[in-house]
A and B are shown apart, each in its own frame.
Chain A
Amino acid sequence: MNLIEILSYGFIQRALLAGTLIAVLCSVLGVFLVLRRLSLIGDGLAHVTFGSTAIALALQLYSAASLLVSLPVVLLASLGILKLTEKARLNGDAAIGIVSAVGISIGIMLASVGGGYNVDLLSYLFGNILSISYEEVIIAAGLFCVVMVLLWLFFHDLLAISFNEELARVSGVRTNLISAVLVMLTALSVVLAMKLVGIMLISSLLILPAVSALQLARSFRACIVLAALQGGCSVVAGIFVSFLTNLPTSAMIVMINLLFFCCSCGVRRLITIRNIG
């Protein structure tokens, strides 16, 4: 089967379009999260997404309609993590751990009670990008535009708080507001990415492109562009390779990201050796 034939399938076109948009979003946000040492927030919010999806399925809201429950719940959870960090004098990782455990517990309880929709719920654990519907592509494109506009508007504020929060405050940046914007944008992206790589693997899409870009980038803007490129390319390559090898797409996307990361580390090492020499 050649490339043109593969591209002629509607489900492949939808997967490529939605997947690339979501991966670019996650990769760009991942740079800010990694630099703010919030890498695992994606994992925590993904667990909350699992719980909220269980609620949606219990209410018989399937596919794109499940977002009606997931989006508000995960947005609230993201703010909950921030509030726990600020008010309960917890470190970020402890707050993420609490919200994450509560999210997955709700999912497990509802799955146990519901019984009948266990199979649907489990499909969210590992994702199924090839089953993305036309409505989900439209939603992904819409949210991609919203998040990108917000990132453009808050770019320098986000850069400032990632560099140093104390200095950002003394530059007049409203750090609490900007932190809330960052985690809420992450929450939106995590809900969208759930179908792409599944709850178990979302954090890889947030972390791996960012850490690969950090190995090679020679400026902050270059870092953002490199991360976005890797995220997009990994989804395109992951879909094609998984189609040809008949392996799970979500796992393939993660492995391709890992390959990019190893290559970035290798290139950085070579550059260091050349500079020393």
Chain B
Amino acid sequence: MPVEIVATERLACGYREGYVLEDISFTVNAGDYVGIVGPNGSGKSTLVQALLGLVPISSGSARLFGSRCDNFSQWGRIGYLPQSLHLLNPIFPATVAETVALGLLSLKRFPRRLTRQDRETVETTLDVLGVYDIRSKLIGELSGGQQQRVLLARALVNDPELLILDEPTAALDPETRERFYHMIADVNRSRGVTVLLVTHDTGVIGQHASKMLYLDKRMLFYGGFDDFCHSPEMSSLFGEHSQHLMCHRH
């Protein structure tokens, strides 16, 4: 019996100008690796932000671990990695270790104090992600690839059951990007962490993800990548040439 991690029913989100997302219904089960793709402005990031309660839901519903997103409180079960370029204040004086330790706050109650055991957990995570040697460096002094590894360590340090990544490789070179995606796939396979990945790169989805969700304000497709590639419906929607390009980038 699959365990439901994320579920939406006729979800709609919008601003004054109108709906950004409309009629989105899907379910993600434990252990799934779902790639969310779509053109710019298709509502990919809005969907992720609605699930996390960062933008209000206009109608319909969304649940995380069975709880409604608007009053969700089990943040220790989630790891989140937003787009790096939006994230970092270059003058922020936190070290790599201090930054990763912030990921443990979701497991703490007020007053949130970190223990010696927490520091050991941070060091273990830094070691696993290969950033232990730079633990004393300031986050603003690192390269884009190193920063993204540190932020992934921050997202994983609380041992989450669901990892949400919003275009995490936008600022990375192709080689670093490839290594990063292998790392995520490994986290999904070896730890059984459910992954929701927003990306432009359909090749990554074909290579690593178990499911694909294609958005363009509405949900145009949700299912296995091979099903997408062989779907006559998608073929008529995108045209055979575009469908072929999306399916054979990897």
- A residues adjacent to B (C-beta < 8 A): 35, 152-154, 156-157, 159-160, 162-164, 166-173, 213-214, 217-223
Contact = CB atoms under 8 A, between A and B. Distances in A.
A163 B80 contact: no
A218 B139 CA distance: 10
B27 interface: no
A163 B75 contact: no
B95 A218 contact: yes
Contact of A156 (B78, B82, B113): B113
Contacts of B54: 166, 169-170
Given A154-B111, A219-B93, A220-B95, A164 B75 contact: no
A153 B105 CA distance: 13
A164 B166 CA distance: 15
B interface bracket (residues with beta carbon within 8 Å of A): 20 to 34
B73 interface: yes
A153 B94 contact: no
Contacts, number: 78
A30 B87 CA distance: 21
B224 interface: no
B222 to A, nearest CB: 24
Contact of B105 (A152, A157, A217): A157
B53 interface: yes
Given A153-B111, A163-B102, A172-B106, A35 B53 contact: no
A171 B100 CA distance: 12
Nearest to A36: B89
A160 B95 contact: no
B93 A214 contact: yes
A186 to B, nearest CB: 19
Contacts of A163: 89, 92, 94, 99, 102
Nearest to A223: B93
B93 A170 contact: no
Nearest to A34: B91
Contacts of A219: 93-95, 98, 136, 138
A157 B106 CA distance: 10
Contact of A171 (B87, B88, B102): B102
Nearest to B52: A170
Given A170-B75, A219-B95, A160 B111 contact: no
Nearest to B164: A170
